[in-house]
Amino acid sequence: MLYREWLYEWLELYVKASAKERTYQKYRRQAEKYILPALGDCDVNALTAVELQKFSVSLSECGLAPNSVNFILAVLKSSLKKGVQLGIIEKQYGDAIVRPRNRPNAVSCFTKEEQQKIENYILKQKNPYLFGILLALYSGLRIGELLALTWEDIDLQRGTLSVTKSCYDKWENGRYIKAIDTTKTKSSERVIPLPRQIVVHMRALKKQTDSRYVVVGKTAWGAQVRPYQRAFERLLKKLNIKHRGFHALRHTFATRALEVGVDVKTLSEILGHRDPSITLRRYTHSLMEHKKEMMNRVGQLLRE
């Protein structure tokens, strides 16, 4: 049996049946782009430890980041393990692969001055479409969570926001459509208390829109991920701010929260991390300016 035949069978019978549609599509894209061209025509029992290691090295040599290489190898290894469990493959050597070391992504956030420029522009424009950027800056929402928000998720009386779902752009019938999915993880389901100042703006926004979605779009299903990311890029260019991805808004929220003294456990719950240690590891390096300020306060003792 060719590995190509088994890989497609595994994707359809096992991944599609147990994973989110979005996860299945991601597995399939990585398989078709990287795994099948290199290994698809091999017999399933010809995938030796050396052949798999050569494949791993080739991924790194083509310029892929370690995290991307490890994801592709995880897809490969999972398919081989299931093949062994079912007796289709005699032995799998995925565990013998020496993987590239993961490098934690550097946290990139906006400075206070850049954040102020973004906020001032959005408030001055009074554009309902751009309001989501402001909301992300003061809630730490991921873009999928933000664009899936409906007014049913907002309690303006209590000043809270409930994260119960997410969305992504799905390719269907020759175009991208908005697809609603569950949250990234179970811990991503959460209730976020909103700052009073944001609630005031949300009340005004609700009065001027008849959309079911908090972030309005050109269609009945609200804004979509890719067009919204491009709108954010255009905004940064217009304001002459260095390009950063939309996720930098989440990083900025977390950094500002730590700077004003929000404890790590509370911040972890607001961000939807499953463990406060994740929050601590990710954001302790993004507080250099805050650290400098604190050290200068300590240094004042010298003058005294």
232 Cβ contact partners less than 8 Å away, ≥ 6 residues apart: 133, 246
Q: Which two tokens stand for residue 152?
A: 């049913």
The edge-to-edge listing of strands for the beta sheet with 190-193 is 154-155, 160-163, 190-193
The CATH number of 112-293, from 1.10.10.10, 1.10.443.10, 3.40.50.10330, 3.40.50.300, is: 1.10.443.10
Neighbours of 64 (CB within 10 A): 16
Average pLDDT over every residue of 258-282: 89
pLDDT higher than 70, residue 263: yes
* Predicted pLDDT of residue 220: 67
DSSP calls for 201-252: HHHHHHHT---SBSS--SSTT---HHHHHHHHHHHHHHTT-----THHHHHH
Amino acid at 7: L
pLDDT higher than 80, residue 286: no
pTM value? 0.78
pLDDT tens string 136-148: 999 999 999 999 9
* Predicted pLDDT of residue 213: 94
Q: Which two tokens stand for residue 132?
A: 């989501």
If pLDDT is split at 50, 70 and 90, which confidence band does 21 have? confident
Give me the residue label for tokens 């030796």.
Answer: 48
pLDDT tens string 205-239: 999 888 899 998 877 678 899 999 999 999 999 99
Residue ranges of alpha helices (H) inside the chain are: 3-10, 16-18, 21-30, 36-39, 49-61, 66-85, 112-125, 131-137, 143-148, 196-207, 225-238, 247-259, 264-271, 276-283, 288-303
Q: Which two tokens stand for residue 30?
A: 């990585």
* Predicted pLDDT of residue 41: 94
Cα dihedral 72→78→81→85 (10° resolution):
-150
For residue 299, report the phi and psi dihedrals to the nearest 5 degrees. -65, -20
Q: Which of 265, 252, 258, 245 is nearest to 136 (CA)?
A: 252
The CATH number of 3-96, from 3.10.180.10, 1.20.120.80, 3.50.50.60, 1.10.150.130, is: 1.10.150.130
Average pLDDT over every residue of 252-260: 91
Q: Which of 111, 139, 106, 109 is nearest to 267 (CA)?
A: 139
Neighbours of 232 (CB within 10 A): 22
**Sequence ranges of the domains in the chain:** 3-96, 112-293
Say what percent of the chain tops pLDDT 90.
Answer: 63
Domains 3-96 and 112-293 equal at CATH topology level: no
pLDDT tens string 40-89: 999 999 999 999 999 999 998 888 888 889 999 999 999 999 999 999 99
128 Cβ contact partners less than 8 Å away, ≥ 6 residues apart: 205, 208, 209, 215, 216
For residue 221, report the phi and psi dihedrals to the nearest 5 degrees. -95, 20
